Amino acid sequence: MAVEATSKAIRQGFVDFFAARGHKIVPSASVVPVDDPTLMFINAGMNQFKDIFLGTRKPDYLRAANSQKCIRVSGKHNDLEEVGKDGYHHTFFEMLGNWSFGDYFKKEAIEWAWELLVKEWGLEADRMWAGVFGGDEKDGLARDDESAQIWQKVIGLPSKRVLAFGKKDNFWEMGDAGPCGPCSELHIDLGEGSCEGKHHGACGVNVEDKLGKCSRFLELWNLVFIEFNRDRQGKLHDLSAKHVDTGLGLERTVRVLGGKGSNYDTDLFTEIFAEIERLTSKQYDSEADGQTEIAFRVIADHIRSLVVAAADGALPSNEGRGYVLRRILRRAARYGRKLDMHEPFIYRLVEPVVNTLGGAFEEITAKAELAEQVIRSEEESFGRTLDRGIEIFQEAAERAKKKNEPISGEDAFKLHDTFGFPVDLTNLMAQEQGLKVDIGAFEKLMAEARKKARAAGKTTHLVAVEASLPQTIDTDKYEGLSTRGNILGWVKEGTFVDEGKLSGKKQVGLVLDRTCFYVEQGGQVGDRGSIQTETGRFAVSDTQLAAGGLIHVGQLEGGQISVGQQAKLQVSSVRLDTARNHTATHLLHQALREVLGEQVRQRGSRVGPQSLRFDFDHLQPVSKDELRMVERLVNEKVRSDLAVITREMPLAQAKNLEGLRAFFGEKYGDVVRVVELEDGNCRELCGGTHLERTGQIGLFKIIGEESVAKGIRRITAVTGERAYEELVSLEETVEQVSELLKTGPERIAERIAALQKQVKDLNSRLAGSGGGGAGPVKSFRAELAANAVRLGSTAVVIAEAPANERPEWMRTTADWLRKELDSVAVMLASKVGGKALLTAALSEDLVKRGLSASEWIESAAKVLGGKGGGKASLAQGGGPSPENISVALKQAYKDIKARLSEST
């Protein structure tokens, strides 16, 4: 019986097949690992069962199956550079899998794989080949004859189509140590002429050389038999329970069953390609392999990864997995240029991705609007520098060709630092022109930049320790503000000192065997306080993690401290203020979900004694009414004086608690701490310090709401005494305004509205009578417009304003010029208080041409000994050298003339 060759039918057919054989169908895990810090993204179906294979969790079922979302863009499983070059590499893919946890083993796994592919789905038996583990002398492992015999005697494959391979191809290991075992792969012969011819010699299963791998024989299904455990010394031991872990790639399965020549010819990509064709007016030819086809494949693949990642909470940013996603998006944008797309368009591909995958994964549909807005924002940001960056790259490439050398590390660093080009994108562009990049020199410059950035941090020289530190027991942090411990040593200038005496006033990181100080993590700041021995007193200004240990950052206040001394540790009483803010953060999270919806997800937090900061998913500003409602809900919990309950339990048990919230990217141990209210609300995994009752918060007051990134909002709030001080300050302000307006507090708004109307009427009368009072400003602006220099169709206004003109005035003047002159570049300077101020502005047409006021102002600001920045349309800056204003403005004219010429 042949299956309908659609992704939906094959995905459903797979889970139905295994459900009928006693497997629990589990949902796909998020592609963002919840509690596995070793992974950037989920890259295999077994990831969510890793703790079962490691023996740290007992399964609730013995058989499971699903279709798992996977992203492979980092580590040894990194397909990013290969995407687009062929028809089967992807950054995002679905892995169909079935698992046995100590239940069935090789015979059933092999029989079911054959039954589904050949008997159920109709693949020809004479095209199938099997690979088995050929043994390894070093590990003392024999050939996997059991699997070979099943393939030959039970399934009926001829012996010539059952091949043995070494560890590289047919032995799976979770890591350097841990569960492992042989695997057996099922390959299909796609027929003569299907190999892309990138390797030498004859075709065959697993044939590969330095030029590539034979693609005539395609691996379909990998069956892993986990029967050993490798210890830290590399020795193998039999597992008491043997497991099965299989993976069948959906994309290539749909391709094979549909008789397609490429994964990209299947219905998983049809709608995406159609939309790319509509947007670009280009055509994809599945029989061709030119730059257009490569660009289509890259863009289609990358938009799938971006949408899936966004749905699971991972957005482009400057660090970690966020930076990987930014690299993916920028790589796609650059390929968009090959399709003559110079305006944002990738975000328009979100809809066809949702149409294709949303039915299988509802979170993709739910987060579609967020994905679209974030991707568009990223495109717009990178688009302003991409074209200029491509020009800079081309100049660097020409220099490299003339010298017959790689593109220099300096050029690669400039593209990275100034134009946002990830080095792998620069390397890709270089490869297209037969060039290489001096990666070594680039990495050296990156290291220097990181070193400079670290130097700006006051404790970086302490936390960047070269060796591992001794472990510190810190469970006393939950018991009180004081304890006793022994001095083990200290970190000084990146080195751990474990003997002798500490003296002097230099900042160090003290290490003890025991502490009650809370180390900065999970959004809560590190504790401050003191450490006292018989001979010295140490003031702690911060507590940080470093090299696997915990350090108390600070300096001696008096005397000296020796290794081995007993010490009394005392945490500052401001810890209680931090606890107020941390407990309030949990209440705030709950209130936001009640007011804005269950889709609200924490993106980050910062909890200290002064205030709390909470970042979360939301597509638009939180309205004043919504903020008031959130504030009221939190204060209701405060007045209810509910008990705050904390308890420890195994992570596996905690995951089954109803309403539990855990946060992506957080590292959780085998035993976790659950914090909740006595009414069962606000249930979260949290290692921070909290109050005993909500009433101890006293009062909660929101003092700010803002955007920190596309689709991410931030609320800042205060509690307790500081919330009271905030209300007193507001009351004093109201009283002052009442006195000035000579009215009661309840009539302030009415009085201000009347004054605004009065001012508006006066301005209208002044304008009608010639506007004498506005004459100097009006005449100066008119003079600037009249004297503008024309460079082509663009007016260029570069001038020094009267002394002591403030930034607000210059910004207003720049806005007036942009309205008065259709296409204009404005640079104004003014001397204010012994300094020079700059304002740069560009009309919208120039921004669309790739020009940026933020970039333009930088060179002028440097002449003044300062810096500048802002948006592409408006930027501000300055410096301490007003005597150089004329030179700076000449530089500004020179720069804008060159930029206008380059952008035509």
Crossing angle of helices 250-257 and 7-19, in 10° steps, is 110
Tell me whether strands 63-71 and 24-25 are parallel, antiparallel or unpaired. Answer: parallel
Which among 181-195, 196-210, 665-679 has the top mean pLDDT? 181-195
For 551, phi and psi rounded to 5 degrees? -120, 145
pLDDT of residue 693: 96
Statement: residue 207 has pLDDT above 70: yes
For 806, phi and psi rounded to 5 degrees? -80, 165
Beta bridge partners of 836: 831, 879
CA distance 203 to 877: 63
Record the tokens describing residue 770, joined without a space.
């010639």
Strand ranges inside 740-873, DSSP E: 789-791, 794-800, 824-832, 835-842, 867-870
Statement: residue 75 has pLDDT above 80: no
> Helix (H, G, I), strand (E, B), or coil: what is residue 580?
helix
Ranges 54-63, 112-121, 559-568: which has the least confidence:
54-63
CA distance 774 to 288: 67
Ranges 86-90, 204-208, 308-312, 601-605: which has the least confidence:
204-208
Statement: residue 186 has pLDDT above 60: yes
pLDDT of residue 87: 84
- Mean per-residue pLDDT for 807-827? 87
* Residue of higher predicted confidence among 639 and 323: 639
Statement: residue 378 has pLDDT above 80: yes
Statement: residue 655 has pLDDT above 80: no
Tell me whether strands 171-173 and 162-165 are parallel, antiparallel or unpaired. Answer: unpaired
Nearest 10 degrees: CA dihedral of 281, 286, 289, 292? 10
Statement: residue 774 has pLDDT above 60: no
- Mean per-residue pLDDT for 854-871? 88
Place 665 in a pLDDT band, splitting at 50, 70 and 90: very low
Q: Which CA distances in Å does 260 have to 120, 254, 813, 872?
A: 19, 8, 62, 46
Ranges 66-80, 111-125, 214-228, 890-904: which has the least confidence:
66-80
Statement: residue 887 has pLDDT above 80: yes
* Contact residues for 756 (Cβ-Cβ < 8 A; gap 6+): none
Q: What is the DSSP letter of 2?
A: P
Which among 58-62, 530-534, 670-674, 766-770 has the top mean pLDDT? 530-534
With 0-12 / 13-18 / 19 or more C-beta atoms within 10 angstroms meaning exposed / middle / buried, residue 573 is exposed
pLDDT of residue 777: 52
pLDDT of residue 59: 83
Place 270 in a pLDDT band, splitting at 50, 70 and 90: very high
Record the tokens describing residue 685, joined without a space.
């995994």
Give the distance, in angstroms, between the CA of residue 272 and the centroid of all CA atoms in the same chain. 24
Please write the tens of the pLDDT for every residue from 4-13.
889 999 999 9
Handedness of CA 81, 11, 31, 243 (dihedral sign): negative
| Among 86, 91, 12, 5, CA closest to 264 | 86
Record the tokens describing residue 348, joined without a space.
């328009």
Give the distance, in angstroms, between the CA of residue 559 and the centroid of all CA atoms in the same chain. 46
Place 651 in a pLDDT band, splitting at 50, 70 and 90: confident
* First-to-last C-alpha distance (Å) of the chain: 62
Please write the tens of the pLDDT for every residue from 418-471.
777 888 888 888 888 889 999 998 888 888 877 665 554 445 556 556 556 888
pLDDT of residue 425: 82
**Mean of the per-residue pLDDT values of the chain:** 87
Ranges 233-247, 253-267, 455-469, 653-667: which has the least confidence:
455-469
| Among 183, 353, 176, 385, CA closest to 856 | 385
Statement: residue 399 has pLDDT above 80: yes
Give the distance, in angstroms, between the CA of residue 800 and the centroid of all CA atoms in the same chain. 43
CA distance 210 to 827: 56
pLDDT of residue 670: 67
Please write the tens of the pLDDT for every residue from 310-331.
998 888 887 778 888 988 999 9
Half-sphere exposure of 673 (CA within 13 A, CB side): 14
What is the full DSSP assignment across 652-699?
HHHTTSTT-B--TT----SEEEEEEETTS-S-EE--S---SBGGGG--
pLDDT of residue 233: 81
- Mean per-residue pLDDT for 578-586? 96
Place 193 in a pLDDT band, splitting at 50, 70 and 90: low
pTM over the 0.85 mark: no
pLDDT of residue 156: 93
Largest CA-CA distance found in the chain, in angstroms, rounded: 104
Statement: residue 219 has pLDDT above 50: yes
Place 79 in a pLDDT band, splitting at 50, 70 and 90: low
CA distance 856 to 592: 41
Tell me how long the chain is. 904
pLDDT of residue 199: 44
Crossing angle of helices 748-768 and 720-741, in 10° steps, is 50
Give the chain's count of helices (H) and strands (E).
26, 35
Q: What is the DSSP letter of 29?
A: P
Ranges 281-285, 420-424, 524-528, 869-873: which has the least confidence:
420-424
Q: Which CA distances in Å does 41 have to 5, 350, 447, 626?
A: 29, 20, 25, 35
Do residues 863 and 844 lie in contact, with contact meaning Cβ atoms separated by under 8 Å? no
Do residues 518 and 527 lie in contact, with contact meaning Cβ atoms separated by under 8 Å? yes
Please write the tens of the pLDDT for every residue from 474-489.
999 999 999 999 999 9
